[in-house]
Amino acid sequence: MKTHSDFQSSQDTAISALRAAGVLPVVTVDSAAQGVAIARALAQGGLGTIEIALRTPAARDAIAAIKQELPEVIVGAGTVRVPEDIERARSAGADFLVTPGTTAALAEALVESRIPATPAAATPSELLELAARGFRIAKLFPVGALGGLKLIRLLQGPLPDLLLAPSGGITEAETPEYLAQPNVVCVGGSWMVPRDWLAAGKHDEVAAAAARARRLVDAAALA
């Protein structure tokens, strides 16, 4: 029987995984083989936790293939939009879930699933709703359009116990300042996996960008 403590344990797992990741690559794939190649390049650069967006027909097959061929990589399913996506992600082997926004029905399903999850919100009211349901980490999306660092800092006062994983419009150059905020555990981004690089198979560039991101995370941890 699932209990409230199971849900809180899953939140602990989500927080620990994203805090250790620091930077979460958000990847859109066209095939399972492409997903494996990208995950391998990211892991080579030091980013061993990734999010595969459920935006293409290949996404679930890519999650399953990565988990089979690179079991050490922690793979999340992103763009989880409806409760049915939760079971689809679970069956593919996803380690955690990330949403682009959170309806009441989706929030309830995430709590019931007990899968480590980071639901998204865009306003203080939405963040309060998530906190009231017991979520202790939320994705702030799309942070670049919402006010960026200024909003992150303003939220610290009224929501000191809610950790954030901002995503949407963050650049490599901005990452250190985001990671320096006490309420930020991780930033999501796609600057290390641009679609033109992926289409051209530029995996060396992906690995190099991942290595730069890893250095930023490590530097933030020492600051």
| pLDDT at 1 (0 to 100) | 54
User: pLDDT tens for residues 125-167?
Assistant: 999 999 999 999 999 999 999 999 999 999 999 999 999 999 9
Active-site residue (options: 2, 67, 69, 139): 139
**What's the pTM value of the predicted model, to 2 decimals?**
0.96
Residue 45 CB partners (closer than 8 Å, separation 6+)? 192, 206, 207, 208, 209, 210, 211, 212, 213, 214
- 139 noted as active-site residue: yes
| pLDDT at 223 (0 to 100) | 82
| pLDDT at 154 (0 to 100) | 97
Residue 191's CB: how many other CB atoms inside 10 A?
A: 17
- 150 noted as active-site residue: no
Residue type for position 178 = Y
Among 103, 127, 175, 64, smallest CA distance to 192 is for 175
Residue 183 CB partners (closer than 8 Å, separation 6+)? 152, 155, 156, 159, 160, 162, 163, 164
| pLDDT at 112 (0 to 100) | 96
Kindly give the confidence (pLDDT) of every residue in the chain, 223 residues in length, as a single tens digit, with 9 standing for 90 and above. Answer: 567 899 999 999 999 999 999 999 999 999 999 999 999 999 999 999 999 999 999 999 999 999 999 999 999 999 999 999 999 999 999 999 999 999 999 999 999 999 999 999 999 999 999 999 999 999 999 999 999 999 999 999 999 999 999 999 999 999 999 999 999 999 999 999 999 999 999 999 999 999 999 999 999 999 8
| pLDDT at 4 (0 to 100) | 80
Q: Which CATH architecture has domain 4-222?
A: Alpha-Beta Barrel (3.20)
Residue 6 CB partners (closer than 8 Å, separation 6+)? 114
